[in-house]
């Protein structure tokens, strides 16, 4: 990865007089849009170990990063579906989903559709 400052000379030659903080903000905005549209940066997050009776977990994100989309997930190496909270016919935050799947409303946490046994490895690709 490169620092924004590497790109500034290119930008400032065509945006003469542009304040550096504004140029850096626009670079960041362009990078976010690029990765959201192309999905060019996809990464498996560090595994999470399941806890007995728990369905809610945090997405352990690399420093300074945000999630645009949850791509895949596994529990103990077996793929599970990615569910949309928009499609749930009831309050999925209080009730189990009809099938096992992973749901994330805020892209900082996720919830499993049903609790799994303790000690299993949960992995999420974002």
Q: Average pLDDT of 70-85?
A: 88
Q: Which of 105, 27, 97, 100 is nearest to 69 (CA)?
A: 105
pLDDT of the residue at 1: 64
The average confidence (pLDDT) of the chain is 84
Q: pLDDT band at residue 47, thresholds of 50, 70 and 90?
A: very high
Between 27 and 101, the more confident residue is 27
Q: What is the pLDDT of residues 93-109, one digit of tens each?
A: 555 555 667 888 888 99
3-class SS shares of the chain: helix, strand, coil, % to 5: 25, 20, 55
Is 109 in contact with 59 (CB distance < 8 Å)?
yes
Instruction: Tokens for 68, please give them.
Output: 């645009």
Whole-structure pTM value? 0.73
């Amino acid at each position: 990865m490169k620092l924004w400052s590497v790109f500034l000379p290119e930008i400032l030659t065509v945006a003469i007089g542009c304040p550096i903080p504004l140029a850096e903000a626009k670079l960041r905005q362009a990078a976010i849009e690029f990765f959201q549209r192309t999905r060019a940066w996809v990464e498996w997050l560090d595994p999470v170990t399941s806890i007995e009776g728990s369905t809610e977990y945090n997405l352990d994100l690399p420093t300074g990063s945000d999630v645009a989309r949850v791509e895949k997930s596994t529990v103990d190496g077996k793929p599970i579906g990615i569910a949309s909270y928009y499609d749930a016919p009831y309050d999925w935050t209080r009730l189990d989903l009809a099938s096992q799947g992973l749901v994330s409303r805020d892209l900082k946490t996720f919830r499993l559709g049903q609790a799994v046994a303790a000690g299993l490895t949960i992995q999420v690709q974002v």
